[in-house]
Amino acid sequence: MNHWIIAPIVLPAIMAPILLMGARHDMVLARIFSIASTVALLGIALALTAMVSDGTILTYALGNWVAPFGIVLVADRLSVMMLVLTAVLALAVLFFAIDGSDREGRHFHALYQFQLMGINGAFLTGDFFNLFVFFEVLLIASYGLMVHGGGPARVKAGVQYVAINLVGSTLFLISVGMIYSVTGTLNMADLAVKVPHIPAGDQALLQAGALLLLLVFCVKAALIPVHFWLPGTYANAPAAVAALFAIMTKVGAYCVIRLYILAFGADAGAATWLAAPWLLPAALLTLVLGMTGVLAARRLGQLAGFAVIGSMGLLLTSVALFTPIALSAALYYLLHSTLAGAVLFLIADLVARRRPGHEDGLSVAPGFTQLKLLAGSFFIAAIAATGMPPLSGFIGKLLMLDAALDSVHAAVIWTLVLGTSLIAIIGFGRAGSTLFWKSTGEPGSFPEHAQSNSLSLIAIGLLLAGCVALTLFAGPLTTYLDATAEQVFATHQYIEAVLGNTVLPGGLL
């Protein structure tokens, strides 16, 4: 076993109590420890990337219990790519937070590390029970981060966020129980072996459980009709927290990709491609709703929230085609949309700090400090988020449109993707012209104390640089993502890596 696989979980799990017990009264020390831990996570993720780059799938059996009887962690190209993305985003967001917003409440850095532990665990786990555990870890930490700093609006949004996720957790347990009652396993690889051999009399219960689990993942991914919690929650959360939450919707997308290709994909017998008829229409409706929300938004933070919903709709539209080429395009867009969505929340916060009485409302107000710098940052972020050339959003949409050409739904997909792109451009154009262009002609100015320190701008610059890097290195990156998608669809490789040579005919061990 390669013990580095468990490091992205163990490191933040150890760092969080250290921060609680040893650095809770010293903010400087807490910041140093938190940054050091996050940098180490990025290094570990990059090291794991090198280990799996040749197609190797690494496994780690906790307690040395052989799968499927024990808990197993699995690192392949897909899961490790998500670890790298999480670490990059977390590091940039942490720079923004230590510019002062981490002082608004207690235990920010400890909760931040617990959050990273839950996210990393969800990407690495190989069984349902552990996935539920890591979901709860990341959700409990996110509850604390959501209300960090207090305030009526934040608490109200936090209560809604807690309520919807408690319902999701309950449905998760029910769905997993239904699947376990039929298959007798919680291991994902073992489930993939047993699903094709489920008798016809048990298919209804199996498929009902699988579809209920799809609903749970759609809650995490903010897919229609369970999307309503996201705009208010993200818009009222602290900016650094909302930016980190950009990766949490991708946890839902990751689970859909992993489970419904591995266990309910081409070899699932009567349950083959179970999610496809439901996922595609929901994703297209989410795309339309999200981009329409961008056009109707009255606050910049709200606009960013609806942009995240729209991007998830577009991402899962490509996933729902369930082909390697479409998945590769979806993964490229996943990387792009995470960075582009996160930077919008950070920009919205800096704008709000400089406009007392107006905050991030889309209304004309007197000019403010660093207006041109923030206007330029918003302009680049808007180009990326709307999919205009030449940045990564444009490349991602081109890849997905190309992947959809062979689909029977190609005409609908092309029409909605291009139509909603136009709507998004109008929405972002309206917001930018109101906040930056029209405001320059208004008399008066706001106090200089509204200006933030340089670390916030560095965080924004890092995320925008990430979008530029995705554009400049699109060639080698898409080659890697093509290989990643092929590996995801080669389910026998995953099963063999987890279960070894213990699988016998009929799916018995």
C-alpha–C-alpha distance, residues 229 and 214, integer Å? 17
Residue 343 located in a structural domain? yes
Residue 419 located in a structural domain? yes
Can you give the pLDDT at residue 92?
A: 95
Number of H helices, E strands in the chain: 20, 2
Provide the terminal-to-terminal Cα distance of the chain, rounded to the nearest Å. 21
- Nearest-Å Rg of the Cα atoms of the chain is 22
C-alpha–C-alpha distance, residues 16 and 34, integer Å? 9
Residue 253 located in a structural domain? no
Residue 129 located in a structural domain? no
C-alpha–C-alpha distance, residues 77 and 58, integer Å? 10
Contacts of 33 (CB under 8 A, 6+ apart): 15, 18, 19, 23, 109
Task: Note the maximum CA span of the chain.
Answer: 78
DSSP-derived secondary structure for 119-132: HHHHHHB-BHHHHH
Residue 82 located in a structural domain? no
Q: Which amino acid type is present at position 371?
A: L
Beta bridge partners of 127: 187
CB 401 within 8 A of CB 414: yes
C-alpha–C-alpha distance, residues 361 and 301, integer Å? 8
C-alpha–C-alpha distance, residues 336 and 333, integer Å? 5
Structurally, the chain folds into a number of domains equal to: 1
Task: Show the domain range for 294.
Answer: 275-472
Residue 442 located in a structural domain? yes
pTM (2 d.p.): 0.93
Residues (pLDDT < 50) of the chain are: 447-450, 502-509
CB 306 within 8 A of CB 294: yes
Beta bridge partners of 137: none
CB 333 within 8 A of CB 399: yes
Q: Which amino acid type is present at position 421?
A: S
Going by C-alpha positions, the residue among 279, 288, 285, 284 that lies closest to residue 322 is 279
Judging by beta carbons within 10 Å of its beta carbon (0-12, 13-18, 19+), is residue 218 exposed, middle or buried? Answer: buried
User: Token pair of 325, please?
Assistant: 């080429």
CB 340 within 8 A of CB 381: yes
How confident is the model over 38-83, as pLDDT tens digits? 999 999 999 999 999 999 999 999 888 888 888 899 999 999 999 9
Residue 202 located in a structural domain? no
DSSP letter at 436 equals I
Question: Residue 384, CB half-sphere, CA atoms under 13 Å: how many?
Answer: 31
User: Token pair of 268, please?
Assistant: 């699932």
Q: Which amino acid type is present at position 389?
A: P
Can you give the pLDDT at residue 506?
A: 39
Residue 426 located in a structural domain? yes
User: Token pair of 51, please?
Assistant: 């280990």
How confident is the model over 311-366, as pLDDT tens digits? 999 999 999 999 999 999 999 999 999 999 999 999 999 998 888 878 888 888 77
C-alpha–C-alpha distance, residues 134 and 82, integer Å? 15
Phi and psi angles of residue 98, each rounded to the nearest 5 degrees, phi first: -75, 0
Can you give the pLDDT at residue 132?
A: 92
Can you give the pLDDT at residue 449?
A: 45
